[in-house]
Amino acid sequence: MLDNYLLQIPEDFQRKLRILHSVDGANSNLSVKEICRLSGISRSTFYRYFDSQEDFCYWYIIFCSSISLDQVGRTRTWNEGMKHFYQLLEQEKSALKVCAEWNSDYGVAYIESHRKQVLTETLLKFRGLKLNDLLEFQIAHYIRLEVWSTFKWLRSNNAQPASTFAEQLETCVPSLLHDSLSLS
């Protein structure tokens, strides 16, 4: 699924992904020391790729967002962006489940901040719209729902398939926000 985006994949992507895979199915109380042990790397190598334990968990979600969700209203429809995002997460779901169980305030705030910045930029720069109070309210509350739902879906042992989850979550996007980013 990432093959179409090889030009956008950072040089260190494969190394980071191997480190993420090392926690697949592990206990959610992992320390940096334990992550290093499981992945066979030193602490200095870990910190060459990640700023913190939280950064380790959320880099993949942010990367996937950058090539899918963040393109909604730019080059992708809501349906395309959401389905692609959740299909990418589904491929790494067992490792991401460990991270989702941490669900740190830092990680949630970081992802919410990223999504708010991207949606605002898309509306202003790509769509030429001005934000009003209602649109800002919808962005803030939709993002909270999107992030919360994503973590809940990642933690679930018997979650819906990615495409079904994406379709259902799209129905929760407030109509003004949805229409403002519609490509049709």
pTM of the model: 0.87
For Cα atoms 13, 29, 36, give the angle at the middle one, nearest 5 degrees: 45
Position 6 pLDDT exceeds 60: no
Domain count along the chain: 1
Kindly state whether residue 15 falls inside one of the protein's structural domains: no
Position 17 pLDDT exceeds 70: yes
Kindly state whether residue 53 falls inside one of the protein's structural domains: no
Q: Which two tokens stand for residue 71?
A: 């393109």
pLDDT of residue 28: 64
Q: Which domain holds residue 104?
A: 58-180
Kindly state whether residue 167 falls inside one of the protein's structural domains: yes
Question: Angle 78-91/93-102 helices, nearest 10 degrees?
Answer: 90
pLDDT range class, residue 95, cuts 50, 70, 90: confident
Position 102 pLDDT exceeds 50: yes
Determine the 3-state secondary structure of 26 from DSSP: coil
Kindly state whether residue 10 falls inside one of the protein's structural domains: no
Query: For 38-81, what is each residue's pLDDT tens digit?
Result: 888 899 998 998 888 778 878 899 999 999 999 999 999 999 99
- Report CA-CA distances (Å) from 108 to 46, 77, 99, 130, 157: 22, 25, 11, 27, 21
Q: What is the 3-state secondary structure (H, E, C) of 81-145?
A: HHHHHHHHHHHCHHHHHHHHHHCCHHHHHHHHHHHHHHHHHHHHHHCCCCCCHHHHHHHHHHHHH
Q: Which residue has the higher pLDDT, 110 or 125?
A: 125
Choose among 21, 22, 2: nearest CA to 10. 2
Kindly state whether residue 16 falls inside one of the protein's structural domains: no
Q: Residue 130: exposed, middle, or buried by beta-carbon count in 10 A (0-12, 13-18, 19+)?
A: exposed
- The amino acid occupying position 6 is L
Return the number of other C-beta atoms located less than 10 Å from residue 30's C-beta.
21
169 close to 115: Cβ distance less than 8 angstroms: no
Kindly state whether residue 29 falls inside one of the protein's structural domains: no
Kindly state whether residue 171 falls inside one of the protein's structural domains: yes
Distance CA 166, CA 163 (A): 5
- The amino acid occupying position 3 is D
Kindly state whether residue 160 falls inside one of the protein's structural domains: yes
Position 5 pLDDT exceeds 60: no
73 close to 123: Cβ distance less than 8 angstroms: yes
